[in-house]
DNA sequence: TTTGTACTTTAGCCCCGTCTAAATTCTTCA
DNA sequence: TGAAGAATTTAGACGGGGCTAAAGTACAAA
């Protein structure tokens, strides 16, 4: 019932890759995400398979078992709740919390995490707009689309970020692109896909197509 | 500048033993406190000595160097601040927090601990009445004596506990012996050293000499 | 001064998680 | 169909941290 730090890290990595790119998850994808060597990954996969946390066929990648997915979801719950704590209570900014939450998520205590959840008033999303699973591992996906897929003049709210790199988040801060901001696409430049948008009721700003593809928005009216 | 989990645990153990029983600290004392084998302790002592965290002479015990003591104090600071957080913010009781704080104290982030300190409003004592070192490692000892050394009819306040075992703390709870309680010794039974005392303005209660030797009190007047 | 006993260290082994180098398997394309 | 090339796994090794068994050291008592 209790796993090592390394095992937990692998489970989370597999979960994340599966979420983005589907299953099965390749050895090299895990190695890349975890900054380690494929040979090391193979070793660990055997151990995880022995513990029935993953389904593993040599040369054909892995997927999480029910138990493995359960555990991964729990880790994500812990990670995101700690991020809320760091931002909401301790005053960290959203680009500073990842590293610390990576450590905190390994603290073993169900009571602790449940009480933390209550203390934070059961948040449903973390500071990056990612959903927080409940104690049973369930979470609801919010309706959201990429800003790059938002129609012209369609009012929307910024609800999440796909990219979590500090430099990206700092860039957003500098451009007043905070979660909850209302916005509307004014123009998409045909040459390179850059997007001009109105933020709240301020002056229009220009962001690259690259950035637009990293932002999740929710439309705020049902018009075309 | 950054140490492994095991190294940190050893430093803290050595610090604690030195605090209670003085220096040098024996291999077997460390082994007993850490629930490990003397042979394992010897192995680790060599490593800590190589890193100049302890002074170590074969067969003659160890003491912490300045650097080692600094690190141990920092760990204790972290441990005690986390205990405050768990009790004051998350509503844990004082007998539930030790295990969790043992894990939390290893989280590496100076910023985190400083912000936690501020968030808790820079407490000077943890839930067991133990002093919390400041960021520089300094802390002030409170004036305190053992309840077993308190004179008859001498008004005093319960300020700390020497024993941290859950069962002991729960026993105190059941007898309304909480930190901050005012008390006065009414009688010491000659037969076994049991102490009868008045707690606040309630009925007298009887505690064993054994228990009285685990409680720290501060006298509240200068009489006799 | 010697010796018995308790304490400590050494020697040698184990498991975890990682690595490099070499071998194997998969896949794709001519 | 049959390689070439990419991905993956195996083999063998290492450092961290722990254990047992055996050997060495200290110290108190005679």
Q: Taking the domains of chain B in order of start, what are their residue ranges?
A: 5-64, 145-219
CA neighbor of B83 nearest in space, from B100, B66, B67: B100
- Find the mean pLDDT for residues B106-116: 98
Using a CB-CB distance cutoff of 8 angstroms, which residues of chain A are in contact with residue B101? Answer: none
CA neighbor of B86 nearest in space, from B126, B125, B113: B126
CATH class of B5-64: mainly alpha
Collapsing DSSP states into helix, strand and coil, what is residue A191?
A: coil
Give the model confidence (pLDDT) of A132-151 as tens digits.
999 999 998 899 999 999 99
CA neighbor of A186 nearest in space, from A216, A158, A150: A150
Q: Give whole-number Cα distances, B217 to A83, A174, A213, B81, B153, in Å.
A: 40, 55, 63, 22, 13
Say if residues A116 and A85 touch (Cβ distance below 8 Å). Answer: yes
The CA–C1' separation of A39 and C20, in angstroms, is 9
Nucleotide minimizing C1' to CA distance for residue B3: D16
Mean pLDDT of chain B: 96
Query: Nearest by CB to B103, which of A96, A99, A107?
Result: A107
Q: Does B112 touch chain A (CB under 8 A)?
A: yes
What is the pLDDT at residue A54?
98
What is the pLDDT at residue A98?
97
What is the pLDDT at residue B141?
87
Structure tokens, A114: 């449940």
3-state SS of B88-155?
HHCCCCCCCCHHHHHHHCCCCCHHHHHHHHHHCCCCCECCCCCECCCCCCCCCCCCCEEHHHCCCCCC
**At which residue do the structure tokens 């943890």 appear?**
B126
Give the model confidence (pLDDT) of B168-204 as tens digits.
999 999 999 999 999 999 999 999 999 999 998 889 9
Say if residues A88 and A120 touch (Cβ distance below 8 Å). Answer: yes
Protein residues in reach of strand D (CB < 7 A): A 26-29, 38-39, 41-43, 45-46, 56, 58-61; B 4-7, 9, 36-37, 39-40, 43-44, 47, 59-60
CATH class of A145-219: mainly beta
What is the pLDDT at residue A222?
54
pLDDT class of A224 with cuts at 50, 70, 90: very low
pLDDT class of A223 with cuts at 50, 70, 90: very low
Count of positions (residues) in chain A: 224
């Amino acid at each position: 019932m209790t796993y090592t730090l390394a095992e937990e890290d692998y489970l989370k990595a597999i979960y994340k890759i599966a979420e983005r790119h589907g299953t099965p998850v390749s050895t090299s994808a895990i190695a890349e995400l975890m900054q380690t060597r494929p040979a090391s990954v193979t070793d660990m996969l055997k151990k995880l398979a022995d513990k029935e946390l993953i389904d593993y066929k040599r040369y054909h990648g892995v997927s999480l078992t029910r138990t493995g997915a359960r555990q991964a979801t729990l880790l994500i719950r812990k990670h995101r709740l700690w991020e809320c704590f760091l931002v909401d209570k301790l005053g960290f900014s959203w680009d500073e919390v990842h590293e610390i939450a990576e450590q905190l998520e390994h603290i073993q205590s169900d009571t602790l995490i449940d009480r933390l959840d209550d203390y934070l008033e059961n948040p449903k999303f973390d500071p990056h707009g990612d959903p927080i699973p409940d104690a049973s591992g369930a979470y609801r996906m919010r309706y959201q689309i990429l800003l790059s897929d938002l129609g012209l003049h369609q009012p929307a709210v910024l609800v999440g970020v796909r990219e979590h790199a500090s430099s990206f988040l700092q860039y957003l801060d500098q451009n007043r692109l905070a979660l909850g901001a209302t916005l509307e696409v004014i123009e998409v430049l045909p040459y390179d896909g850059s997007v001009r948008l109105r933020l709240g009721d301020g002056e229009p700003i220009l962001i690259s197509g690259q950035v637009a593809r990293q932002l999740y928005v929710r439309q705020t009216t049902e018009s075309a």
